[in-house]
Chain A
């Protein structure tokens, strides 16, 4: 949807309302939805994501209806040289190097991706928003400490740092005296430690300008406590950027989890994850194309759908954007 046409349409709607002398009150949510639903691509992406979520929730019934249990091995599906066989009517996406059903494993892999994306995103956003608001509101030494900490985190190579944390925690009983265990927990910790800085920095910037607004001054003058001002006055004004940037870091989190699993420090086998499937598929990519094509395609489509949704949400919440 072009910004110019959008403006014209909004004006026309305004003119109609004027003619009819009937002004309809709309909540911000209704305004957002009215804009968002005109973005066909974003709607398509949303549809795909809903479908994916359903697939992940019903991975069990779906795999028993159209495939086989995810960890069951079918050695008769490997040929004499141990090469897996390709897609067939009973194994829709073929089998992997152990004779497991790739279709079921792709379905179960969706669970891992979405689970990590959801938990890691919620945690990074929560930490980023709170620390960002505190830094922006109090300024001074609090801001210095938080901002410098963000600078330092950003001085690390992201993937290597996540790898380092994940591999340091994958040995023995996990790390920090066994608090963080290898597997899903480690992956989430590694992602959150890095990704909250991204949100934190943006929120801090927004709060720095918000705190100078008159309504904050009014709240302060009427004797509101800092905590009330931060959560009751400032936070509601940050809803739009929080939604936009949350949607935009979901695909990054999915990619990061997949990369960690690809490198062998992510989800612990035998649980299926797309990154780990691609890793297993790497040595046999030329004999078993289905083994990298289906998990890889699923990963690509999922990340793409979240990116498209993010762009759509951003455009709908902020009509000034031109991209």
Chain B
């Protein structure tokens, strides 16, 4: 067990190393635009650009630049400085993290509370009208782009701009420390919008897994020994059917913590994703690079947590 966890840890570290290298290549080697010129801003003198080039080490060979970058990253989690306002990308991201966490955690609760029950109901009565309606709705939700759902939600339900004024609209987010009630109200539409496609996806997964599981021999045994159907499903069926879903949930949360960029953009929530969006409109490469790397960290971390949890949860996983 110990060896297994150590191996997973080492793999995660290696993964982070490679991920940092690839981001470096994508953002510092691929672009044909000169970083020193971008950093200097408009109307820069050649002398200034030359000075910046030396300060940033851009005149050094590629591998020395990467080493410098990696050292800053490993020692201080240094993500560089924005071209746009020269702020530290790390502190900009951290200051926006609470909004992203609020959005992600709330949406996660919503999609689990909708997705799992819908999937279970559909699996218990497969090919009935109810199942077909639910799965048809799920497919529509998967097919809808999240920003279109967001615009539709704002158009229908948002205070001031909607057909009915039920919920707070775009740009109404306040931190929870400031006013918990306003915080909650402002996030209702974003939570449901972000959760829609995930809920649909999880409903389809749950249904498929549960139907497969219910065809297993041990389910027949459970029924044959006279167990109530609710217990057969609840105790024997769901347990096996939900394990892969827990794994996926962990990774999806990790993915979203790196910024739910589209939802944050539509609802104007000042999170990490919104920061990435603003960085793109400003052609602010260090900020985009920082958010990509930050998002990758969360995914690698979530993968690690899930792998380790799995070893505890699933007795079939061997740690050899």
* Interface, chain A (partner B; CB < 8 A): 2, 151-152, 155-161, 163-165, 167-178, 251, 255, 258-259, 262-265, 275, 278-279, 281-282, 285-286, 289, 292-293, 296, 299-300, 303-304, 307-308, 311, 322-323
> Is B277 at the interface (CB under 8 A from chain A)?
yes
Q: Nearest Cβ in chain B — how far from A290, in angstroms? A: 11
- Of the listed residues B38, B147, B208, B276, the one surrounded by the most CB atoms of chain A closer than 10 A to its CB is B147
Q: Nearest Cβ in chain A — how far from B221, in angstroms? A: 21
Q: List the B residue with the shortest CB-CB distance to A176.
A: B30
* Interface, chain B (partner A; CB < 8 A): 15, 18-19, 22-23, 26-27, 30-33, 38, 126-127, 139-140, 142-145, 147-148, 151-152, 154-155, 158, 161-162, 204, 207-208, 211-212, 255, 258-259, 261-262, 265-266, 276-277, 280-281, 283, 285, 288-289, 291-292, 295-296, 298-300, 303
A321 to B212 CA separation, bound complex (whole angstroms): 10
Q: Is A178 within 8 A of B32, CB to CB?
A: yes
- Residues of B contacting A176 in the complex (Cβ-Cβ under 8 angstroms): 30
Q: Is B155 within 8 A of A160, CB to CB?
A: no
Q: Is A157 within 8 A of B295, CB to CB?
A: yes
Q: Nearest Cβ in chain B — how far from A164, in angstroms? A: 4
Q: Nearest Cβ in chain B — how far from A117, in angstroms? A: 14
Q: Nearest Cβ in chain A — how far from B289, in angstroms? A: 7
State whether A300 and B145 are in contact (beta carbons under 8 Å apart), knowing that A168-B30, A286-B155, A322-B126 are contacts in the complex: yes
Q: Is B143 within 8 A of A304, CB to CB?
A: yes
Partner of A168, one of B140, B158, B259, B285: B285
A177 to B152 CA separation, bound complex (whole angstroms): 42
State whether A152 and B15 are in contact (beta carbons under 8 Å apart), knowing that A285-B155, A296-B152 are contacts in the complex: yes
Q: List the B residue with the shortest CB-CB distance to A289.
A: B155
- Residues of B contacting A259 in the complex (Cβ-Cβ under 8 angstroms): 145, 147, 262
Q: Is B147 within 8 A of A307, CB to CB?
A: no
Partner of B23, one of A164, A169, A174, A322: A164
State whether A296 and B145 are in contact (beta carbons under 8 Å apart), knowing that A172-B31, A172-B32 are contacts in the complex: yes
A279 to B280 CA separation, bound complex (whole angstroms): 14
- Residues of A contacting B148 in the complex (Cβ-Cβ under 8 angstroms): 278, 292, 296, 299-300
A265 to B278 CA separation, bound complex (whole angstroms): 12
Q: Is A278 within 8 A of B151, CB to CB?
A: yes
Q: Is B19 within 8 A of A152, CB to CB?
A: yes
Q: Nearest Cβ in chain B — how far from A112, in angstroms? A: 15
Q: Nearest Cβ in chain A — how far from B203, in angstroms? A: 11
A170 to B126 CA separation, bound complex (whole angstroms): 48
- Residues of A contacting B152 in the complex (Cβ-Cβ under 8 angstroms): 292-293, 296
A5 to B276 CA separation, bound complex (whole angstroms): 51
Q: Is B296 within 8 A of A264, CB to CB?
A: no
Q: Is A151 within 8 A of B161, CB to CB?
A: no
- Residues of B contacting A158 in the complex (Cβ-Cβ under 8 angstroms): 255
Q: List the B residue with the shortest CB-CB distance to A154.
A: B299
Q: Is A151 within 8 A of B15, CB to CB?
A: yes
